[in-house]
Structure 1
Amino acid sequence: MNATHAPHFESLGLSVSVVVYQPDIDQLNSTLASLVTACEVLHTERPGLPVTLYLVDNGGLPDPSAALEALRVGGVSYTVIVGQGNVGYGRGHNLAIERITSRYHLVMNPDIDLAPDALKQALNFLDDHADAGLLTPWIGDEHGQQQHLCRRYPTLLDLFVRGFLPVRLRSLFKGRLARYEMRDLINGHDIVWDPLIVSGCFMLFRTHVLKQLAGFDARYFLYFEDYDLSLRTHDVTRVVYVPAVRVLHHGGGAARKGGAHVRMFVASACRFFNRFGWKWL
Structure 2
Amino acid sequence: MTATNAPRPESDNLSVSVVVYRPDLALLTRTLSSLEAACNALRVNSPAFAVTLYLVDNGGLPPDISADLNTLQERGIPTVLISGHGNVGYGRGHNLAIERSASRYHLVLNPDIDLDGDALVNALDFFAQHPEAGLLTPRIGDDEGRLQYLCRRYPTLLDLFVRGFMPGSIRRLFTRRLSRYEMRDVINDRDIVWDPPIVSGCFMLFRTDLLKGLAGFDPRYFLYFEDYDLSLRTHEHARVVYTPDVRVLHHGGGAARKGSTHIQMFVASAFKFFNRFGWKWL
Q: Which amino acid aligns with 2:47?
A: P
| 1: CA distance, partners of 2:180 / 2:199 | 15
Partner of 1:15: 15
AA aligned opposite 1:91: R
Mapped contact 1:19–1:92 kept (Cα < 8 A) = yes
User: How big is the shift at 1:44?
Assistant: 0.7
- Provide the residue aligned with 2:176 in structure 1: 175
Query: Residue 7 of structure 1 aligns with which residue?
Result: none
Q: Does 1:36 align with 2:36?
A: yes
- In structure 2, the residue matched to 1:164 is 165
- Structure 1 outlier segments of 4+, above 6 Å: none
Report the Cα distance in structure 1 between the residues aligned to 2:147 and 2:192, rounded to whole angstroms.
Answer: 15
- In structure 1, the residue matched to 2:221 is 220
SS of residue in 2 equivalent to 1:174: helix
One-letter code aligned to 2:34: S
Letter in 1 for 2:21: Y
How far is the alpha carbon of 1:138 from its aligned partner?
A: 0.2
Q: CA deviation at 1:11?
A: 5.6
What whole-Å deviation, never above 9, does each CA across 1:50-101 have from its counterpart, x for those lacking one?
Answer: 0000000000000211211221233211100000000000000000000111
CA distance in 2, matches of 1:74, 1:198: 32
Structure 1: distance between partners of 2:191 and 2:36: 28
1:142-165 C-alpha deviation (Å, 9 max, x unpaired): 110110000000000000111111
- Amino acid corresponding to residue 22 of structure 2 in structure 1: Q
Letter of the structure 2 residue corresponding to residue 34 of structure 1: S
Partner amino acid, structure 1, of 2:66: S
Contact 1:36-1:70 within 8 A present in 2 as well: no
SS of structure 2 residue aligned to 1:45: coil
Question: Hey, what's the Cα distance between the residues in 2 that align with 1:185 and 1:46?
Answer: 34
- Distance in 2 of aligned mates of 1:98 and 1:265: 26
Question: What does residue 112 of structure 1 align with?
Answer: 113
AA partner of residue 173 (structure 2): L
1:153–1:197 contact (8 Å) kept in structure 2: yes
Task: Confirm or deny that 1:258 pairs with 2:277.
Answer: no
Q: Cα distance, 1:188 vs. partner? A: 0.4
1:60 counterpart = 2:80: no
Q: Which runs of 5+ in 2 are unaligned?
A: 1-9
Calculate percent identity across the aligned residue pairs. 70
Shift of 1:232: 0.2
Contact 1:54–1:80 (Cα < 8 Å) also in 2: yes
Query: 2:194 — aligned with what?
Result: 193
Q: Tell me, in whole angstroms, the C-alpha distance in 1 between the residues paired with 2:260 and 2:142.
A: 24
The aligned runs of 1:126-137 (5 Å cut-off) are 126-137=127-138
Note if 1:90 corresponds to 2:91.
Answer: yes
| Separation in 2, partners of 1:75, 1:142 | 29
Q: Secondary structure of 2:68's match?
A: helix
Distance 2:11 2:129 in 1: 18
Residue of structure 2 in register with 1:4 after alignment: none
SS of the residue 2:97 aligns to:
helix
Aligned CA-pair RMSD: 0.9
Alpha-carbon displacement from aligned partner over 1:120-178 (angstroms, at most 9, x marks no partner): 00001001100000000000001101100000000000001111111222111100000
- CA–CA separation in structure 2 for the residues paired with 1:120 and 1:73: 22
Show the counterpart of 2:48. Answer: 48
